[in-house]
Amino acid sequence: MKFCTKCLFPDTKPDIFFDKFNKCDACISAERKHNEKNFKKIDWSKRELEFSYLLEESLKISSKNEYDCIVPVSGGKDSIWQVYAMSKIHNLRTLAVTFDQFDQTPIGLHNLNALKEIGVDHLHFTLNPKVIRDLVYKGFEIIGDPYWVNHVGIWTVPMHIAVKFKVPLVVYGENPIFEYGGPDYSRDNMIMNKKWRQEFGGMRGIREEDMVDDNITSEDLKMLVYPKDEDIEKYQIKGIFYGHFFKWEPIKHTKFVMNNLNWKPLETAPKGSWMTQENCDMQFIDIRERIKYLKYGYGRATDQLNIAIRQGVIQRDEALKIVKNIDGEVDEENVIKFCKYLMISKEKYEEIIDSFVNQEIFYKNNENKWIPKEERY
Ligand SMILES: [Zn+2]
């Protein structure tokens, strides 16, 4: 395994590109974003202007209808801040749309109240929980991601609501490819559409229709099937990334929502994570991140510390010591809850987890534990 010289990403991460100095593309994007020494600096004032042109065009369409924009909102710090930005900074008639989390936490539910503090209309959409559970199981079993259904829901349901209410603008937060790595052609992309969702939206090569089986019908999946092209075109609906136009700054968002909107972080970070301000609404985040760790050799703590390294909040060697201790950790009580939710045995759970281990980078020791073959550096 090879590691980025600036952050802690390994080259086993999917969709990551290293330059000749072994620096990863997420680090290069961060330099562009903060206008450090980089020849492809971003002209943020130009992008801001592009955003105002886009709003102008969009308002011509929405002025006849009930809402100017939709913001998909999980209740996390960034999406709450995004709702605030659209409704209070840009003064748009905003409809917040939540795709219900199957493993919502008390703190996550509390944080959705921030929408009341802001003062916006809010649609909370819950897909049939029985269908959700089947899809969580299938995502876990087939691709090692229990959150497959959430990814699809977050990228698709708000687009359906946009069609129903004829809302021309659906505003997502950061462009994940720019912030966390991915192919060159998608780093400066501002548009979220069906093609983008399929390639980068956590679908992992599975289309919604592939999930049909004896338990799940295509009728069950209708809200997860992307709206028809002709409807999107008819109402001139655009899905965009706000982070393309304005510098995406999670630390500022956190401070703002905590100080102004009574938003609360977790009391302690989930196992396998370093931060208390992220994934506050995902009870089983440690399980997903455990699988990621066993597939690619890095977990949630790496993602979080990488951002801190790029912002100069922590040194790489100090962060490396931390990730070695916490990446891939899982809360055993949470595993029991997860098995209970899916109605599977612990043995079945272990069998599924083991099926995703990359045995080129991990081996099983005498205590039946997966151990990295190489020390991270
Ligand atoms: Zn890097």
The reported pLDDT for the residue numbered 43 is 92
- Expressed in angstroms and rounded, the spacing between residue 38 Cα and the centre of ligand 1 is 15
Report H helices in 73-125.
77-84, 106-112, 114-118
Whether residue 281 contacts residue 105, with contact meaning beta carbons closer than 8 Å, is answered with yes
Cα–Cα distance measured from residue 349 to residue 101, given in angstroms and rounded to the nearest whole number: 21
Instruction: Judge residue 177's burial from the number of C-beta atoms within 10 Å of its C-beta, 0-12 exposed, 13-18 middle, 19 or more buried.
Output: buried
Burial (CB count within 10 angstroms: exposed 0-12, middle 13-18, buried 19+), residue 224 = buried
Instruction: Give the CA angle between residues 190, 196, 197 to the nearest 5°.
Output: 120
How far, in Å, is the centroid of ligand 1 from the Cα of 193?
27
Distance CA 268, CA 350 (A): 26
Domain boundaries, the chain: 25-39+266-372, 44-245
pLDDT recorded at residue 24: 96
Rounded distance, CA 107 to CA 114, Å? 12
User: Which one, of 283, 293, 300, lies nearest residue 338 by Cα?
Assistant: 283
Tokens 């109402």 belong to: 235
Whole-number Å distance between alpha carbons of 287 and 140: 10
Three-class DSSP category at 147? coil
Instruction: Please give the distance, rounded to the nearest whole angstrom, from the Cα atom of residue 5 to the centre of ligand 1.
Output: 7
Structure tokens at 179: 């912030």
What are the structure tokens assigned to 101, written together? Answer: 């989390």
Q: Give distance in angstroms: CA of 327 to centre of ligand 1.
A: 17
CB 160 within 8 A of CB 192: no
User: 317 C-alpha to center of ligand 1: Å?
Assistant: 13
Q: Ligand 1 mean position to 3 CA, how many Å?
A: 8
Give distance in angstroms: CA of 141 to centre of ligand 1.
30
Give me ligand 1 centre to Cα 179, in Å: 11
pLDDT at 2: 93
Triad 266, 283, 358: Cα angle to 5°: 115
Please check whether residue 299 is in contact with residue 293, taking contact to mean a CB–CB distance below 8 angstroms: yes
Output the pLDDT for position 302.
97
Tokens for 8, please give them: 């802690």
* CATH code for the part of the protein at 44-245: 3.40.50
Contact 14, 205 (CB under 8 A): no
Rounded to the nearest angstrom, the distance between the alpha carbon of 30 and the centre of ligand 1 is 9
Please give the Cα distance from 28 to 187 (Å, whole number).
11
369 beta partners: none
Return averaged pLDDT per consecutive 10 residues of the chain, 377 residues in all.
96 93 93 79 94 96 95 96 98 98 95 97 97 97 96 97 98 89 86 91 86 94 96 96 94 95 97 96 97 97 95 96 97 98 98 97 95 94
Nearest Cα to Cα of residue 174 among 68, 247, 101: 247
CA 16–ligand 1 middle distance (angstroms): 9
Helix (H) or strand (E) holding 238: strand 238-241
Distance (angstroms) between ligand 1 centre and the Cα of 81 equals 26
Distance CA 125, CA 72 (A): 11
CA of 153 from ligand 1 middle (Å) equals: 30
